[in-house]
Amino acid sequence: MSEIAAAGVRPAWRSRLGAGAEAARGAPDARRLLQLTLAGIWLLDGVLQYQAFMYSKDFTDMLSGTASGNPGVVAHPVTWNAALVQHHLVLLNTIFATIQVLLGLGIAWRPTVRVALAASIAWALGVWWFGEGLGMVLTDSASPVNGAPGAVILYALLAVLLWPADRDPAAPFVAARAVGAQVARALWLVLWLSLAWFALLPGTRAPQALHDMIAGMEDGEPGWLAALDRGAASLVAHQGLAASVVLAAALVIVAAGVCLPVPYAKGALVLAIVIAAVIWVFGEAFGVILTGGGTDPNSGPLLALLALAYWPAAAGADDRKAAP
């Protein structure tokens, strides 16, 4: 043994043990995986922002359209921003796209994750107002089916919940690690109960409201997706009130789920992911990214990512060693 040590050769079992420990230390934990997913969505947004559509008048028309139905204090800055972008479209849109790419890269690179998450919160709040008209939540057309309360505000919420800090060492789920379980649950309740409220607004519960929302997504979509939209629209034709009540009830169950014992919480989170998927496919048509005119994948994937951030931690699991 001494001769082996002198020769600088470690026993095979010790080498394997050391390699395993190094791999464990370098493996990303659950929060880091969620951060990387968020980074990937930001990168996708940046790439989509470089599309030809975003360098056309259609993009500025889309921006100015979010002023409709909003109070003047919200609408006037939106209109001003759309006019500014129209006059400097190539420069400003290139800046917009580059910022989003840099946010994604910054979140993905450990040394800059804090700076990038903080910047993403500021950027998301600005886009939520000037680019989404506060997600239209101050109008009667806000609906979880069409993306309310605005996809970009969910980026900011995720940045807060995935912040690399451990204020609650015994956090029952990833989203509670940075802000504590009570605050995290309160944020979840506010989000999902607001979605339930939006589902019952006149713009959603009118007899043909949901039908028109879904059918309106057909334009420019591939044939298979347009066919799915038509089928879903026919199911809710003249059933706006009933469908809205069912959706609102499901959203309330999801909201309450994180306050329940673990088995029921998991069931509510699975329901949240299913609702997010249905909204993404049938209400948002994958954020219309298949048409060449989508700026982001919309709220569906972000709602699912949020649900994963609230998934109960395994009992006795210690996945904080490699946390950023």
Distance CA 279, CA 93 (A): 28
Tokens of 206: 């009118």
11-25, 71-85, 195-209: segment of lowest average pLDDT: 11-25
Residue 214: pLDDT over 70: yes
The pLDDT mean for the chain works out to 89
Compute and round to an integer the Cα radius of gyration of the chain. 23
Tokens of 17: 């043990």
Quote the pLDDT of residue 87.
97
Quote the pLDDT of residue 7.
43
Instruction: Verify cis geometry, omega within 30 degrees of 0, for the bond prior to 111.
Output: no
